[in-house]
Structure 1
């Protein structure tokens, strides 16, 4: 760059600050509403499924849009797409704060997720253009800590706002953050794009979105309707068809939105295993525990936010520390070791029955949060490192999609599994026709609604069914996390030094 060094340093600092604020704000948009579900339901009403879409809709929109956002940023410019994303996020957040009913809120949450996805993809791609080498690793580690701060303090902020100003204030705060990002970051961004980008892969984007939407809908509706219901079977079948069509389309593209050839490389596959593991070890508890603390354990929203600190606070610190530890310890080993810690913490958490003391949760949650924090700040740099810098938008799009779409699917899958285990525990005590609806209410912690549907069962019966289901579900999450740790260790282990002959063919074997 030709700007004077002090000006360049100041500009980079402001860009980093703006994207850091994006990284803080987007997680709050996830964790805040998760804490606010009870308050939103009391204010606006709505069924258990409708309230669940406040979370699922946002995650689904982000997951289905982040890869398209990367492609748009590559072709039309990172600054332009970042500006559009943040502007949309700000306006929609303001509108959500004024939503008159749950249906409107659900629809606006989808628009908020799309806008956030555009900002995330373009922001990360822009950051990759501003920083290189170790500086980029440290910058992305700091962004990882930003996500951690949003996650760590999001529940507390939400709980405090609900107690003082009401749940709507959560979204007004997000809108205010968007205004600040537009003010300090956008004027400093350079307009960059991929010079080799051609047209947008519209058919690929459409089929991928259709796949993710039908899959998520099927998983969300299955606990209430039953897995054998024609609608559920149809949704899951269409999801499989859309996936096959998407893969076929991507194989025919000259510049695909998702470069499937990258999956031939073990290190790239290993990188994609990281967000899957974090989804089941960290994001799923982050979604389930506020429901348990508020609706099952009887805590207030603010108390639930404080209870989440041992899980979420390490994410605000550990990613940045892990990024600096890569000077001495390979990234793959750090990431795999962290996932093993998380798996142990999840197994410990599975053993805690409803009604346990507050302190019983502290150590296992701290172990899960610390373990998840190890790969958290390394994942983005690893994802970008396996492709040329000019295709950073594509890399962040692929990885962001795996990350957020994986989290969306993980929440839907685990919610369905939890309801399934609850239904299994109540099956002999209820008519078959009522099991699905009651199980969904109990899995959501809505024991009062479950009592209305099944007046013959006591609160203790619901708590026992929930406790067993939570135990089994957490064991499944722990198993998935440990398996991903093994994949990560094998795939991301430091490669042997390449021989001089053919060394140019090892472009993808960049050390983590």
Structure 2
């Protein structure tokens, strides 16, 4: 009877899709929820600004750095097994976060939660590809993308409602509920599949890549606290370079590398990687910075702050699908480049509104940023596999996902450090030796703690320093996004025949279906 249910044709595939969609909706909740709740988490658990920054960065770092390794393990040991195991770990660590009583343990659990999320995500995407035929697969992945968009669009307002009604721990209980539903449906309806030609995990490559990202992120986050030329910070950054170099040498020498470096010979592939990184600094960082500004600095409620974020994320519900339709008349390079230029214009526009501006005035630049980033968002995954020879489509997807997620973690660390540095400069001599500490606390939305460090400085002066820093940061992000748009126009606009004449749709996946 169980076998009939599991192989129940269209009905079975629908439940598989629901399972993956529940997991996909849970992922952005773990990203946007703690951002909305960060001021509340800081008041409850305490902790330094560095520890509070790790609330977000710990998850993004482990999620991004283990995606490729999780994909390789799923191919070797079974995609269903990886999906269910990852979901179980993700749910368990999410439950632990709801009961955490110390910021250090909270950050550790966030890092472990990221590992579980990477395993669940890799197993889910690979499993879904096996359940649907070529024509249905694109629609199935579109539905999953829409689920992810729902999580991003309504995650902040849902988190705000939950925080105000039940407190910040309830955010993670909501995530546990989604993970549990996905786990039950996946256990019943998913088939076990694996790649018969998988060669296991490149452990040396996975270890050096993860250590390189960890040292890089940690060094960047330490900079505002101890200075940009501190010997410890420099040593950590040198260690990151050493591990990146070791990763490069390992991937050049192993027979089945985790990352095929030869793909970077293709200009269009390089363009896709830049496109994957663009949302990190043109959109994703705003999902973290803006709730802190709205709730911590401007004093909005969690609900009001979450409502403001809908304007930024709501376009993701519709426009990615519209972008796919536009490819009938416009080249992907034109659509993606135009979208990034719109996003850059929105960032520049947003910089013109100081702290304390009327909320309704901010809606329009936020909406423009969301519209701009939604256009390439709907095309990026398809481009990731269409710009390389079809036999390398699987690896290209893994590299693309890692670039996107790891880029988000690094971008968050860099942007957080820059905001703190800009604020410190704007505080000036009036803040004295406590300028760095006050700037970091303003960056986490804790105005009261910043004021206690520089009691001689008026609150209005501190907020003005933060405001000028935030505006300068938005201008910088706008310039980087515009420059990326130009590169995308140039690289993705190249003829597909530069890639050994083999660009196109990915070929069929070789799969073994296992009986339980």
Partner of 2:31: 30
Distance 1:485 1:244, change over 3 A: same
- Report how far residue 509 of structure 1 moved: 5.6
Q: Report the counterpart of residue 461 of structure 1 in structure 2.
A: 461
Cα gap change, 1:122 to 1:218, in 2 (>3 Å): same
Pick aligned residue for 1:508 from 484, 498, 503: 503
SS at match of 1:172: helix
Q: State the 1:489 CA deviation.
A: 2.0
Distance 2:505 2:77 in 1: 28
- Aligned residues of 1:195 and 1:390 also touching (Cα < 8 A): no
Q: Structure 1 residues 87, 389: CA separation in 2 closer, same or farther (over 3 Å shift)?
A: farther
Q: How far does residue 128 in structure 1 lie from its aligned partner after superposition?
A: 2.9
Mapping for residues 14-29 of structure 1, pairs under 5 Å = 14-29=15-30
1:160 maps to 161
**Where does residue 175 of structure 1 map in the other structure?**
176
| Cα distance in 2, alignment partners of residues 422 and 254 from structure 1 | 49
Instruction: Report the TM-score, using the length of structure 2 for normalisation.
Output: 0.93
What is the match of residue 374 of structure 1? 375
Q: How far does residue 392 in structure 1 lie from its aligned partner after superposition?
A: 5.7
Aligned match of 1:471: 471
Distance 1:133 1:425 in 2: 56
Alignment of 1:63-462 (within 5 A): 63-131=64-132, 133=134, 135-386=136-387, 394-431=395-432, 433-462=433-462
Deviation at 1:310, TM superposition (A): 0.4
1:413-446 deviation digits (Å, cap 9, x = unpaired): 0111111111111232233x42221221122222
Give the conservation status (yes or no) of the 8 Å contact 2:385–2:505: no
Bigger mean CA deviation after superposition, 24-33 or 140-149: 140-149
Root-mean-square deviation (Å): 2.3
Q: Residues 422 and 439 of structure 1 are in contact (CA less than 8 Å); yes or no, is this contact kept in structure 2?
A: yes
Q: Work out the CA distance in 2 between the residues paired with 1:437 and 1:244.
A: 34
- The Cα shift of 1:351 comes to 1.3
Structure 1 residues 170 and 504: alpha-carbon distance in aligned structure 2, compared to 1, 3 A threshold: closer
What SS does the corresponding residue of 2:180 show, helix, strand or coil?
helix
1:160-191 residue CA offsets vs partner (Å, 9 max, x unmatched): 11111111111111111111001223432232
Structure 1 324/184 Cα, relative in aligned 2: closer, same or farther at 3 Å? Answer: farther
Cα deviations by residue, 1:457-501 (Å, 9 ceiling, x for unpaired): 1111111111111111111111111111122222222626x6xxx
Q: Which runs of 5+ in 1 are unaligned?
A: none
TM-aligned CA distance change 1:139 to 1:374, over 3 Å: farther
Normalised to the residue count of structure 1, the TM-score between the two structures is 0.93
| Stretch deviating more after TM superposition (193-202 or 397-406) | 193-202
Is the 1:125–1:396 contact (alpha carbons within 8 Å) kept by the matching residues of 2? no
**Unmatched tracts of structure 2, length 5 or more:** 507-516
Q: 1:192 is paired with a residue of what secondary structure?
A: strand
Distance 2:11 2:390 in 1: 23
**Is the alpha carbon distance of 1:457 and 1:53 closer, same or farther for their aligned partners in structure 2, counting shifts above 3 Å?**
same
Q: Is the 8 A contact 1:136 1:381 kept in 2?
A: no
Q: Deviations over 1:68-127 (max 9, x none)?
A: 111111222211111111111111111111112211111111111100011112212223
CA-to-aligned-CA distance 1:169-217 (integer Å, 9 cap, x gap): 1111111111100122343223222332213100100000000000110
**Cα 1:52–1:110, aligned 2, differ >3 Å: closer, same or farther?**
same
Question: 1:194–1:391: 8 Å Cα contact kept in structure 2?
Answer: no
